[in-house]
Structure 1
Amino acid sequence: MAAGEVRRRAAARALTACGVGHVVGVSALGRGTPLAGRAGLVTASFAMDDLLAGTGAAYRALANPSFFENLLEEAASIRDEGVFADTVDADRKAPLVAVADIAAVAAGLLLDRSWTGTGSVPVLGPRDLSPNDLARVMTEQFGRPVRYERRSLDALRAELVGHGLDEAFAQGIVDMKRAKDEGLDAGVARTPDTAGSTTFEQWCARTLRPAVLS
């Protein structure tokens, strides 16, 4: 028996034993795109979705882009140097979402269990944003200049490994970042049902500004 089938059956037995009939998973955008098979941690998320979808439970994968909350890791750099960094092109616009909007969709699905089968539910922010867009909003919100600095994938890999991360896991992050810069998150059209309600301006004022200016 193939290893994938063994894992699927084990997952199915575990869900059945716990009486679980509906499952909502946090996943990623990009399924079905040419980048899906070489997107590092995102590719692993798709494998997780396939495993859960094969258990017989009703399953919905929340297909998310990157989170606003990732910027909290940059709070000290923004405060001390007026800089935040990532590996994507400064002008690449992509969806971004607040975790509160993801949680709201998950809660709605878990409270209304009339749905059956398996599927994907995109959860996008209100609009696509580039790093330069984020810098502009932060500059306005904080009353001081904030700029974006693009770093290389090699520099990211070296930093992750230097902090003690397993090399394979670090490579998974690097591959995910590369795929996002090549348009992994761009394949889903925004609709009123998938847009989310929290703007970056709102999130920045409520969450990032206190973290930076405290």
Structure 2
Amino acid sequence: MIVVTTPTGQVGRRLVRHLLAAGTKVKVVVRDAARLGDDVREQVEVVEGTHDDPAVLDAALPGAEALFWLVPPNPAAASAEEHYLTFARAGGAAVRRHGVGHVVAVSSAGHGWTKPAGVLSAAFAMDVELRKAGAAYRAVSPPFYMENLLGQLASIRERGVFALACAADRPLATIATRDIAATAAGLLTDRSWTEQADVPVFGPDRLTPEGMAEVLSEELGRPVAYQRITLAGFAAMRRSQGASERLVADAAEMFAAQDDGIYDADWATATIAATDFRTWCREVLKPAL
């Protein structure tokens, strides 16, 4: 039996379907079971609650052969690192208590980066904490999610613009969430692996943001331009939205690290996933528009 956290998220919902299609017995930890699709809810065992709660994990993990771990975002958290570590401490302790043999977590590319990287550093701290549990561990380590652009649908539709805090002419490694889910499913269903390791997974492109804009323009049949946001401008925008100074710094450090090349070293060892940016635009972004 495999336990899956965040089964209604971009990665988790795809992962659950992969596992069910493979005939795997699945138990999910979910805040609200009503958010599961009817067909999924009929095929899985459900534990309601949040996976930073030891009691919820104690209900979910008895008999588990493997655990899929993903920390959900929380814009109200005091800091990204403390948010990730709160979950990881609860998860690591529960893995030890219940003798779970394999853990697959979604982390970030860029392990070994020595400068502050905000949310990405928080993911690395999570890996350190979960590894202490002693289970065989794989940190699926993706770069920038293509799905992040779905938050800019209105700007793309109404203004023909998408914006990031990245240099326009520097390649940005990307990944589709479907490929993160497929990688995790492969690790969870074939547990012949042992020990602990990072698993960088990248899409096949090496596009700059300007190159991404060209692909978007071609796929949508109308001009789309890239606009770079300065870190100062981004910080001011987030403060106006009520974000704490620590969360503003976490996001700014992440964008700065991406611009400085935090993902670059992993190109040498990354598994290259199937979905290129053009295919993702055609199959995901364009229908969403």
What TM-score, normalized by structure 1, do the two folds share? 0.89
Cα offset for 1:8? 8.0
Q: Partner of 2:141 in structure 1?
A: 63
Asked if structure 1 preserves the Cα contact closer than 8 Å seen for 2:117 and 2:254, the reply is yes
The answer to whether structure 1 residue 201 and structure 2 residue 281 are counterparts is no
| Matches of 2:253 and 2:176, distance apart in 1 | 23
Q: Partner of 1:3 in structure 2?
A: none
Cα offset for 1:160? 1.5
Asked if structure 1 preserves the Cα contact closer than 8 Å seen for 2:161 and 2:225, the reply is yes
Q: 1:111 aligns with which of 186, 189, 210?
A: 189
TM-superposition CA deviations, 1:11-57 (whole Å, max 9, x none): 54311334422111111111123xx3311111111110011111111
Cα offset for 1:189? 2.6
The answer to whether structure 1 residue 30 and structure 2 residue 110 are counterparts is yes
Higher helix share: 1
| Matches of 1:200 and 1:163, distance apart in 2 | 30
The answer to whether structure 1 residue 211 and structure 2 residue 284 are counterparts is no
Asked if structure 2 preserves the Cα contact closer than 8 Å seen for 1:157 and 1:170, the reply is yes
How many residue pairs get aligned? The number is 203
Secondary structure, counterpart of 1:60 in structure 2: strand
The answer to whether structure 1 residue 138 and structure 2 residue 226 are counterparts is no
5 Å matches for 1:1-214?
Answer: 11-33=91-113, 36-190=114-268, 194-212=271-289
| Matches of 2:253 and 2:156, distance apart in 1 | 26
Unaligned runs of 5+ in 1: 1-6
Secondary structure, counterpart of 1:44 in structure 2: helix
Secondary structure, counterpart of 1:84 in structure 2: strand
| Matches of 1:197 and 1:8, distance apart in 2 | 30
One-letter code aligned to 1:101 = D
Aligned-CA RMSD value: 1.8
